[in-house]
Amino acid sequence: MAWMILVLSGVLEAVWATALGRSEGFSKLGPSIIFGVALVFSMAGLAYAMRSLPTGTSYAVWVGIGAALTVGFAMLTGAESTTPMKILLILGIVGCVVGLKALH
């Protein structure tokens, strides 16, 4: 259960990071609200997962999922350039997250 919540929290990290960028310094209400809600739930899920998973592993998985999804979404929407090397490096992050789960 902790792993599922941790993964969901990582997804919510990507949501709040994307919303933060779209809020334009909190000047746009909709993205600012999405940022706040996603941030609270993301942090709550991370905190819950850390009750039974090691802190370092939890944080690395949370950040890895959030970073990979954030940049992946930005590349899909054209907000960030896409190159084969970027894709390879993002897949490396995903591989590291999977490896951490496999070791635990």
Q: For the chain, what is the mean pLDDT?
A: 97
Asked if residues 10 and 61 have their Cβ atoms less than 8 Å apart, the reply is yes
pLDDT tens, position by position, 38-83: 999 999 999 999 999 999 999 999 999 999 999 999 999 999 999 9
Residue 104 has pLDDT above 90, yes or no: no
pTM of the model: 0.92
Angle between helices 84-103 and 55-77 (to 10 degrees): 150
What is the structure's pLDDT at 87?
96
